[in-house]
Amino acid sequence: MNIKPPLMDLPIETSESGFYSGFSKSVSIYSKIIIAILVMWAIVFPEQAGRILSTVNSFILANTAYWYVWIIALFLIVCFTLAIIPATGKLRLGVDGDEPEFSDFSWFAMMFGAAIGVGMLTWAVAEPVYHFKNNPEVIAGLVEGSTAENVRNAYKWSNLHWGFGAWACYGLVGMSLAFFTYRRGLPLTMRSSLTPLFGKALSGPLGSLIDIVSVVATILGVAQALGFGVEQFVAGLTRIGITGLLTESGTANTLGIIIALVIIMGAATASALSGVGKGIKLLSNMNMILSFFLLAFFLIFGSTFFGLQALFFGIWDYIAALPQLMFDVFRSDGVEGSVATKLEGWQGSWSVFYWAWWIAFAPFVGLFLARISKGRSIREFVLGAIIIPSIMCFIWFSFAGGTAIDLTLNGGAGDTIFSVPDGDKIFAMVVYMLGDSLGWIMSLLIVVLLLTYLVTTADSAVLIVNTINAAGDEGPKARPHIYFWGIALGAVVGALLIAGGTGSGGGLKAIQTAMVIGAFPFSIVMVLQCFALVKAVVNDSKRVKEGVQSTMDDVVATPTK
């Protein structure tokens, strides 16, 4: 016998009594210390924090473009290859007899709501509008911005950032965790996904370090999404008649930020206390229904034909250009103001930033995906967690953003939509389309939908952080820890928004900066996950041929002499 059974026992030391009973002290305490230091630093020394974070962020973005662009391509190749190969695609994320816990609708609703729903309401309108005005083709002088000839380019770049590459980040982490947790019986925590590379060493400090990096990346990645959501939520409250929450520049002021966070995090903490099967499932189903209603509104009353064209040509252009887009890195020629320098700056501000965001979001979404995907095959997982969500994003961008572009180009909207802050663009559009009275009703619906997305994202993040801190225990967690992480997540968002300044997007810039920095260490973990997962799948095929145990419920064949 040339190959041994895989590691199926990874003990992680947890406290047996006291406040941290059932939790890994090393992961829980150090994670809390890091987050607490960040919050206090941002509050007590806002200018110093902003300056240092900005310097580190600039260094990372200037020197890691190749890394971020190419590892996203790696994640996409690994996920699709495993799904396409017949022998690996049919492998179940579980053992024989395991069936999915949730229906396809609830599975997709929870995944979409937690993963990307918040960003969709902001960027489904704002991003196509941005790229309609400026993108690499415009910078290179190949087409003029804000013209009909630039619409297809706008969607090609929007689809790149929200398409297969983004969801491959989530899919890779989710597939890895589900594979090792539900096939091997290992703890549902990030360190388990690297056992083929490091083995039992992950029971000690190395494993704790990996989990700490995952927790910090999760908090900062979710803070980024909540930061956008808070700005949009305050804009929505203003649209339905609640005044005094905005600065002169149209962004949320300190009062608006505090009110929004109290509402969002209070509801999220209450939902997290009820667990995945109750509060999160109910909210996810609700926001999916409301999302379909809003999408139907754009399909029926928006620029339908324009949206259909944007959808078809956008997907066509994106897929045709994907092999180049996934590997192409723009580099400056050292001349300030040159086309090459502008292209490098654009890619750093958009593509590299997005890849960092999705990577920071990946430990949270990936672990959540693993938690709700037990019993599904790898092929089914890739279809449901990468391909279908990408198509949903394409549809949203085409009809929501397409309506905004068409109303500006052909509908007489002028600067009504384009001139307002990003979070307010969707509200400005529906008010322009429907008038004040009906626009108020639709704005209220969007505010409710946004709140459900924000709460789903925040409460899922709290549960996931507690799962990592509890060494993969999926059961009920001690209430004080849920309260702590609910408050901590809100504090990170509030502290960075306020410390970064409430004008000209300064607060969001501070969150973005912290997020990019926090994402880099976890990007290394994800690359290691690629090699670990491929190694495990290849070795399992050898084990099956030789009659060696490969899953936790296999019967080991009697070796022949």
In the chain, % of residues over pLDDT 90: 46
Output the CA–CA distances (angstroms, integers) from residue 356 to 64, 96, 224, 365, in the order listed.
10, 37, 11, 14
Considering just the CA atoms, what is the radius of gyration of the chain in Å? 23
385's tokens: 């967690």
Amino acid at 280: I
The most confident of the ranges 1-5, 153-157, 367-371 is: 153-157
- Rounded-to-integer distance, Cα 322 and Cα 299, Å: 27
Closest CA to 472 of 180, 53, 196, 156: 180
Pair 158, 127: CB distance under 8 Å: yes
Closest CA to 367 of 80, 538, 558, 175: 175
* Dihedral over alpha carbons 474, 479, 480, 481 (to 10 degrees): 20
Pair 452, 113: CB distance under 8 Å: yes
- Rounded-to-integer distance, Cα 47 and Cα 68, Å: 29
The pLDDT, as a whole number, for residue 542 is: 82
Closest CA to 27 of 275, 207, 235: 207
Residue 523: how many CB atoms within 10 A of its CB? 23
- Residue 477 reports pLDDT greater than 70: no
The most confident of the ranges 3-17, 70-84, 334-348, 401-415 is: 70-84
Average pLDDT over residues 108-114: 68
- Residue 117 reports pLDDT greater than 80: no
- Residue 508 reports pLDDT greater than 70: no
Q: Which residues contact 95 (CB under 8 A, 6 or more apart)?
A: 182, 183, 551, 552, 553, 554
H or E, element range at 485: helix 479-499
Kindly report, residue by residue over 289-329, the tens digit of the pLDDT. 888 899 899 999 999 999 999 999 999 999 999 999 999 99
Q: Structural domain boundaries of the chain?
A: 25-53+87-546
Kindly report, residue by residue over 535-561, the tens digit of the pLDDT. 999 888 888 788 888 888 754 443 333
The pLDDT, as a whole number, for residue 559 is: 38
- Residue 384 reports pLDDT greater than 90: no
To the nearest whole number, what is the mean pLDDT of the chain? 86
Closest CA to 133 of 114, 166, 158: 158
- Residue 202 reports pLDDT greater than 90: yes
Which string of DSSP letters, residue by residue, matches 164-207? HHHHHHHHHHHHHHHHHHHTT---SSGGGGGHHHHGGGGGSHHH
The domain 25-53+87-546 is placed in CATH, from the list 3.40.1710, 1.20.1740, 2.30.29, 1.10.150, at 1.20.1740
334 Rama sector, left if φ>0, alpha if ψ -120 to 50, beta otherwise: left
The pLDDT, as a whole number, for residue 503 is: 46
Amino acid at 475: G
434's tokens: 């429907």
Kindly report, residue by residue over 429-452, the tens digit of the pLDDT. 999 999 999 999 999 999 988 888
Going by pLDDT thresholds of 50, 70 and 90, the confidence category of residue 136 is very high
- Rounded-to-integer distance, Cα 275 and Cα 504, Å: 38
Secondary structure string (H, E, C) spanning 446-459: HHHHHHHHHHHHHH
123's tokens: 């960027």
Distance of CA 442 to the CA centre of its chain: 26
Secondary structure string (H, E, C) spanning 338-383: CHHHHHHHHHHHHHHHHHHHHHHHHHHHHHHHHHHCCCCEHHHHHH
